[in-house]
Every structure is written in structure tokens, then in C-alpha cells.
Amino acid sequence: MALSSRLAAAESRSRPRGGERGAAAAVLARGVVTSYLGLVVLIPLAALLWRSAASGYDRFVSTVTSPEVLASIQLTILLSLGTTALNALAGTLIAWVLVRDSFPGKRLVDSVIDLPFAIPTVVAGLTLLALYGPRSPIGVDVAYTKAGVGLALLFVTLPFVVRSVQPVLLEMDREVEEAAASLGASGAETFRRIVLPSLLPAILSGASLGFARSLGEFGAVVLISGNVPFRTEVVAVTIFGRVESGDVGGAAVISVVLLLLSGLVLLMTDGLRRWRLVCDG
């Protein structure tokens, strides 16, 4: 009783002043955060949108529908889809092996998975060229080819699916699987009908993150692609080329298309996240 009344007294003494100062600090903090974001992120993005709109509707349409740009958008989407599918498959496999299998060196393999996130993208491109480039020791040269660009995308998006599937596998209850096995289901059947359905949301959300990353990838791709228009040029490389040749307006238009594409992917990812929440109950 004595303690609580003393606490109450202390509170009534400190609250009004602390509260007022706290409120002022909150407004100040919000102001600082908003101005920082405004200067670094918002004003530049507004300038980008403004510049792409300033070129007018006709210019916008003619830029986007020019054969070179269409080809690079098409190539970017196709390569991103292909590599995302392959990494979804391989990523699920790797996650499964890391969780359910045990072998010497497993922890090392587990920590190596994050390397593509830690290594600069240009270095990733050069690294791939060391083995699969012009002076390849195994005679495979993917420089200046679509396959090379795909390889670069596989490298940089490798961790996404592994890292989204792994925790789900770790927490998965194995009783249902054991029940299925004891009822005579084969390993493959158990995986397809029991494990895969519960992994699917995680696989898809990892894959969509990887897909979004692929759409805008530049550093890993640029040295390998050699910027051959119509053949190996992805959207980010096209934009860079336009900036270098002084066509900033065209670059802004293509950037907005890329923004819209990644916006679409983000919406899908958000939908997937909600679906996962529903699935997890």
C-alpha cells in the first residue's frame, strides 16, 4: 500500500513534465525521420516519375515499345522466371538436405549459403567468369550469352528460397509424415502429399523475393552480358546504357516500367504473406 502510493505519487510528479517533453521529442523524431526519407528516397523517386511523365505520353509509349526495349523487358522477365523456378527447386532441395540430412561439414555448407548476399554483385559476376568465362579451365564459356546472364541470376538469388523454406522445415511436425510412411506411403509420395503442401507458401514467398531481385539485377550481370542489344541485354543494363549515352528521359521511362513490374511482384508477395498467415492459422 505504502509502496504503491509512493509510486503513484512519483508518477504524478514525473508524468506531466516527462509526457510533455516526450510528446515534443516524438514530434521531433518523426520530423527528422520524414525529412531524411524525403531527401534520400522520396524526392529522387518523385523526380524520376516527374521526368518520365515530362517526356509525354507519345514519347513514353514509343520508348517502351521500341524493339530494343521490348526485347530487353522480355528477356529480363523470361530469364527471371526461369532462374526463379530453377532456384525454387534447388533451394527447396538444399533446405531439405540441410534440415533432414546429416553429414560432416553441414554447418559449413549452411553458412556458405549466405555468401551471395555478402559478396558484392560485380565480384559475383567476375567470379562466375573465372570458371565459366573466356579462359575457362573446363572449356565452358558463357560470356556474352543468355545462359551466362541466367547463371549470374542463379548465383545472386540462391539464398532466398533456401532461407525461407529452412525455418518452416525445422518447425514442421513429423508425426503426419511418420503416419503416412507407416500406412505404406513411399518417401516420394509422403513428400508430395504431406511435406510439399505445407512448404509451398514458403517456397513461393522466397521465390517471389528472388524474382523481384532478378528483375532489377545489374552488377552481377553487366560484366557477363557484354550488353549485346536484343541478345543479352536485361532491363537494368538497358537503363544504364541510356544514362551513359545521355538519354536520361528514355532511361527514366524504362525505369518506371521496371518500377511497375517490381510493384506488381511486391503486391503478389504481400498476398502470399497473407496466405501464409492464413495457412499457419
Partner 1 sequence: MARLMLRAAALTYLALILLLPLGMMVLRAFGSGPVQVWRALTSPDALHALWLTVLIALIVVPLNAAFGVLCALVLVRHEFGGKRALNALVGLPLSLSPVVVGLALLLAYGQDSWFGGWLAESGIRLIFSLPGMVLATLFVSLPFVVREVVPVLREVGREQEEAASTLGASPWRTLLSITLPSIGPGVAYGVVLTTARALGEFGAVSVVSGNVEGRTQTLTMYVADRFEQFDVTGAYAASLLLALLGVATLLMMNRISRRQGR
Q: What is the footprint of partner 1 within residues 79-138 (CB under 8 A)? A: 90, 93-94, 96-98, 101, 103, 109, 111-123, 126-128, 130-132, 137
Q: Measured between alpha carbons, how far is 254 from 239 in angstroms, rounded to an integer?
A: 7
* CB nearer partner 1, residue 45 or residue 81: 45
Residues 220/224/228/232 CA torsion (nearest 10 deg): -70
CB of residue 61 to partner 1, shortest distance in Å = 20
Q: Is 16 in the site for partner 1 (CB under 8 A)?
A: no
Q: Is 264 in the site for partner 1 (CB under 8 A)?
A: no
**DSSP label at residue 280:** T
Q: Is 77 in the site for partner 1 (CB under 8 A)?
A: no
Among 41, 61, 85, 179, binds partner 1 (CB under 8 A): 41
* CB nearer partner 1, residue 114 or residue 280: 114
Among 26, 61, 81, 196, binds partner 1 (CB under 8 A): 26
CB 147 within 8 A of CB 156: no
Q: Measured between alpha carbons, how far is 250 from 269 in angstroms, rounded to an integer?
A: 29
Own/partner contacts of 228-234, CB < 8 Å, gap of 24 or more, are: 228/144, 229/68, 229/71, 229/72, 230/67, 230/68, 230/71, 231/144, 231/146, 232/75, 232/144, 232/145, 232/146, 232/148, 232/149, 233/68, 233/71, 233/72, 233/75, 234/72, 234/75, 234/76, 234/79, 234/149
Helix, strand or coil for residue 52? Answer: helix
Residue 255: exposure state from Cβ atoms within 10 A (0-12, 13-18, ≥19): buried
* CB nearer partner 1, residue 77 or residue 113: 113
Among 1, 2, 3, 40, binds partner 1 (CB under 8 A): 40
Contact pattern for partner 1 over residues 177 through 196, marking x by CB under 8 A: ----------xx--------
Residues from 223 through 262 that contact partner 1 (CB under 8 A): 223, 235-236, 239-240, 243, 248, 251-252, 255, 258-259, 262
Q: Is 56 in the site for partner 1 (CB under 8 A)?
A: no
Contact pattern for partner 1 over residues 153 through 182, marking x by CB under 8 A: -xx--x------------------------
* CB nearer partner 1, residue 12 or residue 182: 12
Own/partner contacts of 37-44, CB < 8 Å, gap of 24 or more, are: none
The interface region with partner 1, picked from 27-35, 59-67, 171-179, 273-281 by CB under 8 A, is: 27-35
